[in-house]
Chains A and B, each alone.
Chain A
Amino acid sequence: MALAAPELSRRARRVTPAGLARFLARRLGTGLVLVVGITLVAFVITHLVPGNPAAATLGQTAMSDPTIVKAWDHQYGLDKPVVEQYLIYLGKLAEGNLGISEHDNNPVLSDLGQHIPATLELALFAIVVSTAIGVSLGLLAAVRRGRTADGVIRIASLAGVSMPTFWVALVLFIVFFSKLGWFPSGGRLDPGVTPPATITGMYTVDAILHGQWSLFVQALQHLVLPGVTLGIFTIGTMVRFTRASVLEVVNNDYVRAARAKGLPEWTVVRRHVLRPALLAITTVAGLAFANLLSGTVLVENIYGWPGIGEYAYQSAINLDLPAIMGVSMFVALVYIVINLLVDLAYSLLDPRIELR
């Protein structure tokens, strides 16, 4: 998209409160349908296939005793017809009850509450680091287009999105824990350390709020390796999008005009190039953040990070249906909300954009 000058865009805003309310209502409505649809997909897939949740949880010996299996199926309502099972699930869902995990016997909602802050902390760390680095490198590549720096950054960013995260995790782990010993091996804190009293559930934030500085440092140290691993993939994406969107802006006449009237180069870049380009960057950062929340599975697996990804993995291998549906709904909800926020941010950054 070639965007016109910010100076030209100061027209009257079209967003009225009533229009905004209509927009929000429709988007949230669509979102709700999608979320329920996702439970249906999860339900159908896990029922059409031969996998057996009882077998996944109970183990061999218990499985050979039909009464135990029957009791177990009965306890979770798995002996009812499939359609009835789903309707029961929807009914409970409407009450805000996500069911009981078939694997650890806790309510799925409280399980999610326990695991979400850990992943949120990780994803926030990763997105902050990767946006800062990615936008700077992308800007540099665009400004030095076609020169050596551009070429190097382009190859590096392609490499960033080409390396499997689980492998990057392993390599960083071996180098910085196993060989150099700079960072701890995994988990959110050293073994045996009491986490700070829960406010947000994010240990670094909670430690600051309680003024426990040594705890903060420790939590941060544990955050670095998994956070950087997650960030590397996102840096690659951010670089490429920043470069592309800056390049689309930079050839506009108003940029030439800004240079011609003698503005320092940095002012031109900051005020006339970066600001319009921020649009695309906001979108990418928002979506990348949503991707991070579901993309942590492989990283959490290596670093023993007790987040939503590890929970999803455990639910999947145990065929823990309520948990799978809970995680999927959570991630889908995040996507929907972030999309909404991105679209709202769009209309704030560029008044010409209509909310529809």
Chain B
Amino acid sequence: MSITSTLGVGARPAGSPDSGSAATEERLTRSDRAALRPSWRQPLALTGGAILLGWVVIAIFAPLIAPHPPNLQFAAPFSPPSRRYLFGTDELGRDVLSRVLYGARISLPLGALLVLVAMSIGSLLGAAAGFFGGVIDTVIMRLADLFFAFPGIILAMAVAAALGQSLTHAVLAVIVVSWPSYARLSRGLVLGARHSEYVASARLFGSSGWRTMWFELRPNVAGPILVLAALDVANAILLLAGLSFLGLGAQPPAAEWGAMVSEGANNFSYWWIGLFPGLAISTVVLAFNFVGDALRDLLDPRTARMLGK
């Protein structure tokens, strides 16, 4: 979605037809906006939060909740779902339910971790570009443009394949793909704040460039970046699972959801093998989207516009 802004140039409305409505929006306080929101929107965020909380609990207590160890080959292979094996068993006689529950311990922490890393790298580079300008700006942002223009999944596949097929490398690949959007957003925010009086006064008090960025700019630009991060976790988890599905991420016998769907595709006559791990991915991603959606409206209406969404 970002390519229009990638190329920088292009069609923009002449004049600024939306400045009027933007001003109105900004005059509203946070509680005003919340009150204006249709009532069904709040439950959506709450539902998302509840689902996520559920998955976090499952991830932490998987060994206590799961009926069996994830890789124990103990049952008859391909047993359909029954009271004994709620989600059935796979080709090696492993309990699918247990594997799905343990899968939360891979996708959730890795999704969060890689978004954190991509966010840190991207926003730091973007802030430096916006703050120092000149050659630094040009080099960093042209680099970001390049990574942006590169089709995401193909870049991720190439990186993951080149590094060798492992989960760590797949995580690296997703980071390589995701940092530029943070760089672009944080550069824009820093550019907007750079000429504020509080920045000028900090500089006049002798604060160095990096110090000013950390103590003055960071607190003021963090909001929109965190919203982007919250929205991005969903994409990151999807991409990571996709790489594992292709065999470029988690390797057997890891109980990773994407890899499990792939096993399900290899044994498609036994629908339960692929169905349940895919449902797990969907619920997690849906929950993040519920929360991210509400967050985007709530925290900052400008973010959506800056992201071109």
Instruction: Give chain A residues whose Cβ lies under 8 Å from the Cβ of B158.
Output: 42, 45-46, 316, 324, 328
The answer to whether B154 touches A2 (Cβ under 8 A) is: no
Given contacts A164-B282, A302-B265, contact A3 B161 (CB under 8 A): no
Chain B 256-308 residues near chain A, CB threshold 8 A: 258, 261-262, 264-265, 268-269, 271, 274-275, 278, 281-282, 285-286, 289-290, 293
A171, B154: Cβ atoms under 8 Å?
A: no
Contact partner of A166 (CB less than 8 A), chosen from B152, B159, B161, B242, is B242
- Our pick among B21, B162, B290 for the contact of A51 (Cβ within 8 Å) is B162
Size of interface on B: residues with Cβ below 8 Å to A: 65
The chain B residue with its CB closest to the CB of A330 is: B151
Q: Please name all residues of chain B whose beta carbon is closer than 8 Å to the beta carbon of A40 when the two chains form the complex.
A: 146
Measured CA separation A339–B157 after assembly (Å) = 24
Which of A70-78, A222-230, A346-354 faces chain B?
Answer: A346-354
Contacting A at CB under 8 A, from B1-59, are 1, 3-4, 7-15, 17-18, 20-21, 38, 40, 44
> Does the CB pair B162–A352 fall under 8 Å?
no
Q: Which of B142, B154, B262 interacts with A294 by CB under 8 Å?
A: B154
Q: Is the CB of A51 within 8 A of B278?
A: no
Decide yes or no: A354 and B12 within 8 Å by CB, A170-B278, A294-B151 being known contacts: yes
Partner among A37, A162, A173, A178 whose Cβ is within 8 Å of the Cβ of B146: A37
Say whether A319 contacts B161, CB under 8 Å.
yes
A26 sits at the interface (CB 8 A): yes
Q: Is A283's CB within 8 Å of the partner chain B?
A: yes
Contact call B242/A298, Cβ cutoff below 8 A? yes
The minimal Cβ–Cβ distance linking A155 to chain B, given in whole angstroms, is 7
Minimum CB–CB distance from A131 to chain B (whole Å) comes to 16
A290 at the interface (CB under 8 A from B): yes
* Structural contact, B149 and A38, CB atoms closer than 8 A: yes
Q: How far in angstroms is the closest Cβ of chain B from A158? A: 5
A46-B162, A159-B282, A328-B155 as given contacts; A170 in contact with B268, CB under 8 Å: yes
Contacts A45-B162, A173-B268, A332-B150 known; A356 to B10 CB distance under 8 Å? Answer: yes
By the criterion CB–CB under 8 Å, are A335 and B15 in contact?
no
CB nearest to A294 among chain B residues: B151
Per-residue contact bits, chain A 230-272, to B (CB 8 Å; 1 contact, 0 not): 0000000000000000001000000000000000000000000
Tell me the complex Cα distance, A218–B10, Å: 42
- Asked if B3 and A287 make an inter-chain contact with CB atoms under 8 angstroms apart, the answer reads yes
> Bound state CA distance, A312 and B226, in angstroms?
33
Contact between A312 and B157 (Cβ–Cβ < 8 Å)? yes
B contact residues around A291 at 8 Å (CB): 1
Residue with the highest number of chain A CB atoms closer than 10 Å, among B8, B154, B234: B154
The answer to the question of A301 belonging to the interface, with a C-beta cut-off of 8 Å to chain B, is yes
- In this assembly, does A19 line the interface, its C-beta being within 8 Å of a C-beta of chain B? no
Answer whether residue A327 sits at the interface, using C-beta atoms and an 8 A cutoff: yes
Task: Point out the residues of chain A lying under 8 angstroms from B154, CB to CB.
Answer: 294, 297, 312, 316, 324, 327-328, 331
B72 contacts the other chain (CB 8 A):
no
B289 in contact with A50 (CB, 8 Å): no
**CB–CB A283/B4 < 8 A:** yes
CA distance A352 to B17 in the complex (A): 10
Q: Which of B146, B158, B286 has the most CB of A within 10 A?
A: B158
Q: A30-B9, A167-B274, A316-B160 are in contact. List 16 more A-B contacts (CB 8 A).
A: A37-B149, A41-B146, A41-B147, A45-B155, A51-B161, A159-B282, A164-B238, A166-B265, A291-B1, A294-B152, A294-B154, A319-B162, A328-B155, A332-B149, A354-B11, A354-B14
